[in-house]
Amino acid sequence: MTDKFVDWNGTAVEKGINILSKTGGMIVSPTKVGYIIMTSDGKGLRRKFEAKKRNLNKPGVVLCSSLKQLEQLAEMTPEIKKMYEKHWQEDILLGCILPWKKESESIIPDDGSKELMMDKRHTSCFVIKYGKPSEQIAKELWDKYHKFSFASSANPSGKGNKGLVENIGQRIEQSADLIIKANDYVKSIQPKATIDTRYEQGVMVSMVDKQGKLIPEQDNKRGIEPCPVVIRKGLDVDKIMKIMSDIFPSWEYRHGYYY
Half-sphere exposure of 59 (CA within 13 A, CB side): 29
Q: Can you give the pLDDT at residue 5?
A: 96
**At 253, is the secondary structure helix, strand, or coil?**
strand
- What domains appear along the chain, each with residue ranges and CATH number? 5-192 (3.90.870.10)
Contact at 8 Å (CB) between 237 and 130? no
pLDDT digits (tens, 9 = 90+) for 141-170: 999 999 999 999 998 766 788 999 999 999
Q: Can you give the pLDDT at residue 57?
A: 56
Q: What sign has the CA pseudo-torsion 225, 240, 74, 63?
A: negative
Distance in angstroms (rounded) separating the CA atoms of residues 17 and 4: 14
Q: Can you give the pLDDT at residue 55?
A: 61
Q: Can you give the pLDDT at residue 240?
A: 98
Report which residue type is found at 166: E
Q: Can you give the pLDDT at residue 59?
A: 67
Q: What one-character DSSP code corresponds to residue 39? A: E
DSSP β-ladder status, 204-206 and 94-99: parallel
Which ranges of the chain have pLDDT less than 70? 1-2, 54-59, 157-158, 258-259
